[in-house]
Amino acid sequence: MRNPTLHDVARAAGVSYSTADRVLNERGGVAEKSVLRVRHAIEKLGYRRDIHAANLSRRRSYAFRFYLPHGDHSFFSILRQTVEQQARQRLADRIAIAIHEVPALDAEALADQLLLIGRQDCDCVAFVGADSARLTQAVSRLAGMGIPAISLISDAAGDARAQYVGIDNRVAGRTAGRLIRLAHSRRSGRILPILGKLGVRDHRDRLDGAREVLAETPALQVLAPLEILDRPERMRDSLTAALHADPGVTGIYSIGAGNRALIDILGRLAAPRPFAVLHELTPQTRPALESGLIDAIIDQKPAEEIRSAIDAMKAIADRQTPPATDITPTIYLKDNLPGPAGNGGPA
């Protein structure tokens, strides 16, 4: 019942170990008929190379790099912690993960960093996507050097990247929209979207998604989105102004960051607060949900994402077909929040 070894394969194929090895590792210099016999024996015995023994023998270890945005967004720091934690766990699997911080939302700076990577530096790269032609160039260059790159959180670099691991933002927007619709049951209402920047594709996608769903109910009117440009004081001022100007707002969809200020304002509002949906479970948003200041959080489960990303990177590095990563936006209500420790990994 032992798994067959390459020795078994060689014996079954009637060739020497050397020849079996030459076939398995495509070293060349083997007659066609021997190749076939070995291939056939592999098939017949169901031989699978012991990847750990192989890695041990060739002293292989996996060097991966994560390029993560640096900034005081809580989401980014959660992301970073998650990667650090997983990095610790994967050490036992010979996976060494290095984290490189780059300025947040700066595709050019990211491209610069990626352009500095040398052939020997790592086996695979993961980066948080952003839109930029130079970024695409940089990723293509990496691909040319044999270093695959995967985009995280936000897709980018078109076909140059080996894979995207993250949610579909239109789906996330639709989900938020569905929740808001649901919460209005048959009442009419006015929904206020708030986003960082209309120029950011992810934000537009979420907005579009929400609009799609909300448009199905004529009684719900989607107001012009507030653009807060990642500045808390802008959130404070615009939102306060908007709520004053239109006291009939029944729903708020906060698409981007700046939730701290938003929650502050919600806390000061009188009794029938608008139904509020936010993105990302953070130390700020969680208590707001628990105390009922907001009603739902759409989360992308960074722990899952990172885990999938590393799995994909390993598969790619091993030249296997990477697993299908199907990251779906999750809905947190007051009741189904994960345990406090929980970003999914070991305590």
**Candidates 47-55, 128-136, 143-151, 290-298 — which segment interacts with DNA by CB under 7 A?**
47-55
Least Å from the CB of residue 57 to DNA: 3
Which of 29, 218, 247, 339 touches a copy of itself by CB under 8 A? 339
Instruction: Determine phi and psi for 67, rounding to 5 degrees.
Output: -105, 105
Residue of the chain from 43, 44, 50, 240 that contacts DNA (CB under 7 A): 50
Q: Does 249 bind DNA (CB under 7 A)?
A: no
- Could you say whether residue 41 binds DNA (CB under 7 A)? no
Measured CA to CA in angstroms, residue 133 lies from 107, 115, 129, 149, 283 at distances of 9, 13, 12, 16, 35
Over the window 163 to 202, marking each residue x when it contacts a copy of itself by CB under 8 A and - when it does not, the resulting string is --------xx-xx-xxx--xxxxxx---------------
Closest CB to a copy of itself among 147 and 180? 180
Task: Give whichever of 56 and 241 is closer to a copy of itself, judged by the CB atom.
Answer: 56
Other beta carbons within 10 angstroms of residue 118's beta carbon come to 8
Minimal CA–CA distance to 103: which of 121, 78, 128, 84?
Answer: 128
Q: Cβ of 136: how many Cβ atoms within 10 Å? A: 18
Closest C-alpha among 151, 109, 128, 119 to residue 67: 128
Q: Is 36 near DNA (CB under 7 A)?
A: no
For residues 322 and 162, is the Cβ–Cβ distance under 8 A? Answer: yes
Applying CB under 7 A, the span of 12-20, 232-240, 296-304, 330-338 interacting with DNA comes to: 12-20
Q: Is 34 in the site for DNA (CB under 7 A)?
A: yes
- Beta carbons of 211 and 195 less than 8 angstroms apart: no
In the block, residue with structure tokens 């809905």: 331
Q: Is 334 in the site for a copy of itself (CB under 8 A)?
A: yes
HSE on the CB side for 191, CA within 13 Å?
A: 32
Residue 17 or 328 with smaller CB distance to DNA: 17
Task: Name the one range near DNA by CB under 7 A: 31-39, 173-181, 186-194, 300-308.
Answer: 31-39
The C-alpha atoms of residue 244 and residue 278 are separated, in whole angstroms, by 21
Q: Given the rule CB under 8 A, which residues bind a copy of itself?
A: 2, 48, 50-53, 55-56, 59, 91-94, 171-172, 174-175, 177-179, 182-187, 209, 213, 295, 321-324, 326, 328-331, 333-339, 341-342, 344-347
